[in-house]
Structure 1
Amino acid sequence: MTAINAIEVNHLTKKFGEKTVVDDISFNVRQGEVFGLLGPNGAGKTTTLRMMTTLLKADAGQVKIFGHDTVKEGRLARSMFGLTGQYASVDEDISARENLMIFSRLNGLSRQDAKQRTTELLSEFSLENSADKALKNFSGGMRRRLDLAVSLITRPTLIFLDEPTTGLDPRTRNQMWDTIRRLVKQGSTVVLTTQYLDEADQLADNLAIIDHGKVVKMGTPAELKQQIGGTKLNFTVSHTAQVAQAVKLLADQVTGTIQQVGQQLSMSLAQVTQLTQILATLKQAKINIDHLSVKEPSLDDVFMNLTIGKN
């Protein structure tokens, strides 16, 4: 039996006035994965997320959450996910413990269950020592952890995270990444919007890169990196007189053209294992090389390739 997708997005479109902010977007999110919506500021990520979570009405298209239409079965669909925004939706003047208790009660938990869930979440997000401090005294990282804790009160199987680590210091970002990994390990599905390439690379099983309201590419981080040319090999030929010979010898062994700047040669490898054969060929021809480097493509390369200068 085929597993139901956690989310199905079909031809989602949203305009604000004359401007089309989300333009006919379609994708599926599988159960148990981290799905990343990646794109520059203003690309349409958050607008897409707001439509998926019923906070914003789409002009066209359909979203299904575990098979349930978010328009026709809105209440049921909303009961199946938790949403964490870019800004905490909690009361500044009361404590983390009080906030969690209030939201637990609002979510239908009894007083005893609310107390137990609050204690669990304070522990899980390392907030026990600050549990009774007013939120206005919290750091940005502590507030973000509390916001995520609030969204997890009902243990949703689907969690939407809208730029969850924006503005956090590196240590707190890593803590949030560990929390997200733990949630997935426990069986949750996570949809993540981010403009941080390293975050998408670290966390996402699948990615949709959005630019100017359109999905410009989809795939796993590894697939996207491979599509823009694979591993890059760079080296310098020691003697100028041997550059042309090196280019000729290697032309049949590499993918695409060999780029030459003076004595420096750059080329793409379909597989890293090609490196051994290339070095053997050069050694056999007695061509000496220096400054050898092998660089795997990064999501930065993918992102620049797909979004910069595209209109």
Structure 2
Amino acid sequence: MSARRSSRRRTLTWVLLGVAALVVIAIILVIVLVVTLLRPSSQGPAPTPGAPTTSAPTATAQPADCPDVQVIAVPGTWESSADDDPQHPHANPNSLILKVSSTLQDEFDGSRADVYTTPYVAQFRNPTNLNDHQTTYNDSRAQGTQRTTDKIAEVHEHCPLTGFVLLGFSQGAVISGDIASQIGNGQGPIPADRLLGVGLIADGRRQPGEARTVGPDPSGVGAEVALGGIGKLVPGITMTGSRTGGFGSVADRTYSLCAPGDLICDSPTITNPLTGVQKLMGAINNPIHAMYATPKYWNINGDETAVQWMRGWARGVIEKAPHPPHN
């Protein structure tokens, strides 16, 4: 009898060890895939409850050099540099978000819409490669967030009636989305009624239903949400989970686009290690994250790309924006 109990205990121990190993493998695979997929493009809802913040500006006019709309675009990983020119970015000419923002810059006079591209290091050190000396994701993201927030605050202080449009792709979408969430929940650098629109492509903190969407609407979540349970387990890569309060009072003007199968924004939540490993292994060789400028994985009516849709949406927001008086 004791021999049978001992055998059962050994069997149970091996089963538990096997499950634990699968969990570790799944987490490592996701991290490696996030590093692999966070690459620049190689080719050319109901509002979430929050604390609405509105402003009743005392100013009745603003300085003559203020734009009606300030567009701020935040590039993705490896699509910018800390010393890039924010008015004429050139660190990565193939930057996906530039396919949206540069067109707006060409179409609108600077007095109507000024376009600023946040210059930041935009790197993502691979923790599995000891020879990778890039800046960590945490430090890169912190710099991008600080510089974007500082720019918004600077413009708002000088131009209190100017409206803002935030754009972001990949790591840049996480940054823009985080700032929009802060604004929508009353903790940002500007009041919520100054934020005219938010456009995110491949947001790593995406949660279905938190923002408006068009086209494909996959059921997965952002990689940071899927891996939120590991927190600070991997040095330099803090998986922050979902955004507290979602987008708050700006959810009605926030759009989040995600291609099915893009693990940066459409990751399986890892509750079953076996299922998670199978899904992740199947996506290793699928370069979906870099293809938003093509209709291959994300499209409307078979031909409109995510870049084209975002460009048209942003153009419409700018065209409908108020024309505040100037001194």
TM-score, with length taken from structure 1:
0.27
Larger radius of gyration: 1
Query: Quick check: which one's strand share is greater?
Result: 1
**Which protein, 1 or 2, shows the higher relative CO under an 8 Å CA cutoff with sep ≥ 6?**
2
